[in-house]
Amino acid sequence: MKKKGIGIFVCLMLLISVFPLAAPAAKKAQDRGSQQPLTTTSQEDVPIWEIGDQWIYQIDDVNVYFNSTAGIIDAHLIMDELPLQVSTLNETTYTLDFETTISGSAQTDMNFGDGPVNVTITFSNLQLSGDMVFEKSTLGIKTLNGAFTGRFWVKINQQPYLPLPWLPTLPVKLAVSNFVSDFSTAVTPLMFPLNESMFWNFTSTNLSLNGEVRSPWFSIILLINTFYPILSEEIAALLPIVNIQEAFATIGIPTPIQIPMIEGAFYCLNTEPVTVPAGTFTAYNITILDGMASCFYAPDAGNIIKLTGNIQQIIPFITNINLELKSTTYS
């Protein structure tokens, strides 16, 4: 049976590929944390970031949901801190470095034609590091470069491929290197100059993903496959070092992922005092996708201070996010 044995492998690969998808010329704002509302005639230009500026966010829930004809993967991620610090800049972009840990769990329910594959995956303190490239003119994310290492606990609840007297829980050590997530057009919920009562569109873009995945298990599986074929030829050819782009092509996921233009996706409702762990800021309340999500931009912080809701139509797979600013050195 050609598909025999690929189910659990594919579930892991899809999950790994969407993880790292969990986060200009103008005056600097004054009077940080002011609770006085801005007037309806005020207009904010894009802020200037400088080397050393830092924003630390907490992300207490990111829901990553992948749905295909084969089934679903539903993951919940937590980051106590996501520090972003400006490390380099040029005429058009800023580069912000980050280093953090990520914990969470995932449930997969797939069927590749041979029967249900149900797997529970848990993980804690995965080491995640890299950088993000932002456009100066929009504060939009252009590229995310990253790497992470850690151990997953994989509980096989149901699988049709091997007759086993019991279904094991396996420790799976993985390392992802050279991960690149690139948008052809930068993605941002902001529009500058920013004012109240203004609408704007989400610009269409293409999302390209690539990177390499390594695990001791890949070599073990490849060795077992030599004597007892459990993988299709296409899947076996990916091992032992898995190229994410080649893996997507093998399992039929088109890349780059095309994200269409969404007319009137953003609306700046008003300005209001917003309290986050970093303090209270006067912020622009930006409604996303007719209320499916909300974003709050504070001029005194020079950045977004809160993002919550469903942004799946803008960034694929992210069905829910709750992000808040913990602290900043911007001034």
The residues, any chain, with a CB within 8 Å of residue 286's CB and separated by 6 or more, are: 189, 190, 266, 267, 268, 269, 294, 295, 296, 297
**Looking at the chain, how many residues does it have?**
331
Model pLDDT, residue 29: 32
The neighbour count for residue 98, using CB atoms within 10 Å, is: 21
Q: How confident is the model over 232-259, as a mean pLDDT?
A: 84
- Higher-confidence residue of 242 and 3: namely 242
The tokens for 39 are: 């007037």
In the numeric block, which tokens belong to residue 166?
């019991």
Tell me the pTM. 0.81
Of 20-24, 127-131, 254-258, 290-294, least confident by mean pLDDT is 20-24
- The whole-angstrom separation of Cα 298 and Cα 274 is 9
Higher pLDDT, 315 or 283: 283
Q: Tell me, what's the pLDDT at 19?
A: 46
Amino acid 311: pLDDT: 78
> What are the structural domain ranges in the chain?
7-28+49-187+207-256+308-321
Among the listed residues 308, 231, 220, 331, the one whose alpha carbon sits nearest the alpha carbon of residue 8 = 231
What pLDDT band is residue 271 in, cutting at 50, 70 and 90? very high
How far apart, in whole angstroms, are the C-alpha atoms of residue 236 and residue 244?
14
Of the listed ranges 11-25, 53-67, 95-109, 297-311, the least confidently predicted one is 11-25
Taking 90 as the threshold, does the pLDDT of residue 257 lie above it?
no
Whether pLDDT at 37 is above 80: no
3-state secondary structure the chain: CCCCCCHHHHHHHHHHHHHHHCCCCCCCCCCCCCCCCCCCCCCECCCCCCCCCEEEEEEEEEEEEEEECCEEEEEEEEEEEEEEEEEEECCCEEEEEEEEEEEEEEEEEEECCCCEEEEEEEEEEEEEEEEEEEECCCCCEEEEEEEEEEEEEEEEEECCCCCCCCCCEEEEEEEEEEEEEEEEEEECCCCCCECCCCEEEECCEEEEEEEEEECHHHHHHHHHHHHCCCCCHHHHCCCCCEEHHHHHHHCCCCCCEEECCEEEEEEEEEEEEEEECCEEEEEEEEEECCCCEEEEEECCCCEEEEEEECCCCCCCCEEEEEEEEEEECCC
pLDDT (tens digit per residue) in 184-222: 999 999 999 999 999 999 999 998 989 999 999 899 989
Q: How many CB atoms lie within 10 A of CB 257?
A: 15
Per-residue pLDDT band at 42 (split at 50, 70, 90): low
What gap in Å lies between CA 48 and CA 24, rounded to an integer? 5
Tens digits of per-residue pLDDT, 122-163? 999 999 999 999 999 999 999 999 998 999 998 888 887 777
Please say if the pLDDT value at position 26 is more than 60: no
Q: CB under 8 Å to 67, separation ≥6 — which residues?
A: none
Give the pairing of strands 93-111 and 71-89.
antiparallel
pLDDT at 98 over 80: yes
- How far apart are alpha carbons 194 and 295 in whole angstroms? 13
Q: Which tens digit of pLDDT belongs to each residue from 44-63?
A: 999 999 999 999 999 887 88
Mean pLDDT of 251-273: 88
